[in-house]
A and B are shown apart, each in its own frame.
Chain A
Amino acid sequence: MEFEFRFDIVWNNLPLLLEGVQTTILLSLLTMVLGTIIGLFVAIVRLRVRKIFALPLVVYVEVFRGTPGLIQIVWIYYCLPILTGLQLDALTSLVIAMALNVGSYLSEVFRAGIQGVSRGHIEAAAAVGFKPGQIIRRVIVPQAAYRMIPAIGNVFVSAIKLSSLCSVLGMAELMYQGQIIIANFFRPIEVFTVVAVIYLIMAYTTSLFMMYLEWKFAWIRRKKVPFWQKFKQISKTSFQIKPQGNL
């Protein structure tokens, strides 16, 4: 007996999946924004205060990086109301949980990016009379931002996939909708294949956007090539294994 693929079942239920996509995008975007804010805050505080005061933040980062995302989501969804008495709707508590997870990764990205700016470049700015705020805006941010973009992209792409865990708590996002269809038609392979492709499209769109930002921020641009050419260059070189020099 030969197996017959029944993708028609997926096409017939596509509107259901697309509804899920909307929720997934909403969850992911909110997570990225809130996660970035948390990450920036944690990174800056850790760089500015003494080690002993930064200890709670170190614990936060290590706990959220070192435990499964699923447990974090479930734990915050059920335990936060018990501990604080705060009644949050599902979306809010899920976004908070995921943002805490994403923020822990991003804080390390930001910290490394800021610390990576050469001491000498900062001193050169101080020596000509820049104030601390001007040094941050004119020297640290432009250099750090450019270097951090690829790493931020990684975390953002994982955030999209992380949102699939929300299906466990009944949030009707893409993964949940897919499972509903599977439960009705018993066609896991076809449904999961399409769901995976949709995740891939969302992830790749994010990657493209980060690539665009990288192009936009690139301060070493000997020749200003249009983005689509740059894109061709990047997609060509990204399959070659060699040390990456300046673009």
Chain B
Amino acid sequence: MTSAVKIKNLHKSFGSLKVLRGIDLDVAQGEVVCILGASGSGKSTLLRCINQLSIPDEGTVYINGDPIGNLLSETGELKKANQTTLASQRSRIGYVFQQFNLWPHRTVLGNVIEALKIVKKMNNADAEKIAIDRITEVGLLDWKDEYPDTLSGGQQQRVAIARMLAMEPEVMLFDEPTSALDPERVGEVIEVMKELAEKGHTMIIATHELNFGRDTADRAIFIDEGVIVEQASAQEFFSHPKSERLQSFLKRMSM
């Protein structure tokens, strides 16, 4: 079976700063992978490179065998994809942002419907049916006609998750989804993500929530200075960290 996500030798620099220095990663179908690392270690950049919000300098990302941002030519060579192809490839990858990034000029329902209508070309009735289901799933049906700025951070992030779910992505990427939330709002978002994990979605999650990683993830990965320092099953990772860097990181985080 092909991996849901396959990352090969990914490099990315911003100016002289090398953020990713050769990342290789395979994520199986339905696997939940949790990425840990200090701020600036390259977690976000790795996720952004997967759906090409940041274009990697080197290396390729495959989603279910298809190279993202590229096309396989008949001779088996990779060719850079045009914007239209890239857009349709991106629609197969769900992305949840740290800052939610809901569109302020659309209601909750409008935010979830938008991509169904514009990208999937559904008619209003079909799109609304799916959107309502997804909004119900994150528990915000009563808020469907509100504008994002009237919602709390936790609610906004749940809407953002509903917006992603509506597109039925093959892989879901979460870029520190709870880092911008008030502490008492973190739980409601974690709850929704746990449910998604139980339903067997393929998820890659950059997070600082150690407990969530321990309870929910199948595998945990520690990134430092742009390389994967250590990876293991979540159980092993948190209870028996091998490298010194991870040990001191976990110690710092749990203080």
Q: Which residues of A contact B (CB under 8 A)?
A: 118, 120-121, 123-132, 134, 138-139, 142-143, 146, 219-220, 222, 246
Sample of 15 more A-B contacts, CB < 8 Å, known A127-B51, A129-B89, A130-B115: A120-B99, A124-B95, A126-B53, A127-B90, A128-B91, A129-B115, A129-B119, A131-B84, A132-B83, A134-B119, A138-B114, A143-B103, A220-B104, A220-B105, A220-B149
**Distance from B64 Cβ to chain A, minimum over Cβ atoms (Å):** 16
Report B80-114 CB contacts with A as 1/0, cut-off 8 Å.
Answer: 00011001111111110101011111100000001
**Distance from B144 Cβ to chain A, minimum over Cβ atoms (Å):** 14
B127 partner residues in chain A, CB cutoff 8 A:
none
Q: Give A132 to B10 CA distance when docked, in angstroms.
A: 25
B149 partner residues in chain A, CB cutoff 8 A:
220, 246
A220 partner residues in chain B, CB cutoff 8 A:
104-105, 147, 149
Given contacts A146-B105, A219-B106, contact A127 B53 (CB under 8 A): yes
Q: Give A142 to B150 CA distance when docked, in angstroms.
A: 19
- Closest residue of chain B to A123, judged by CB? B53
**Distance from A110 Cβ to chain B, minimum over Cβ atoms (Å):** 18
Number of interface residues of B (CB under 8 A): 32
B53 partner residues in chain A, CB cutoff 8 A:
123, 126-127
**B63 is an interface residue with CB less than 8 A from chain A:** no
Inter-chain CB contacts under 8 Å: number: 74
- Closest residue of chain A to B89, judged by CB? A129
- Closest residue of chain A to B116, judged by CB? A128
Complex contact B83–A219 (CB within 8 A): no
Complex contact A128–B119 (CB within 8 A): yes
- Kindly list the 8 A-B residue pairs having the minimum CB-CB distance in the complex, ordered from nearest: A129-B91, A219-B105, A124-B101, A120-B101, A128-B115, A127-B95, A129-B119, A131-B87
- Closest residue of chain B to A122, judged by CB? B101
Q: Which residues of B contact A (CB under 8 A)?
A: 51, 53, 83-84, 87-95, 97, 99, 101-106, 114-115, 118-119, 147, 149-150, 160, 163-164, 167
- Closest residue of chain B to A145, judged by CB? B105
Complex contact A123–B90 (CB within 8 A): no
Interface centre among B53, B105, B149 (most CB of A within 10 A): B105
Complex contact A129–B105 (CB within 8 A): no
Given contacts A124-B97, A246-B149, contact A129 B104 (CB under 8 A): no
A130 partner residues in chain B, CB cutoff 8 A:
87, 115, 118-119
- Closest residue of chain B to A128, judged by CB? B115
Complex contact B87–A118 (CB within 8 A): no
Chain A to chain B contacts (Cβ below 8 Å), 8 pairs? A120-B99, A124-B95, A124-B101, A126-B53, A129-B91, A131-B84, A134-B119, A220-B104
Complex contact A222–B88 (CB within 8 A): no
Given contacts A134-B118, A143-B104, contact A128 B90 (CB under 8 A): yes
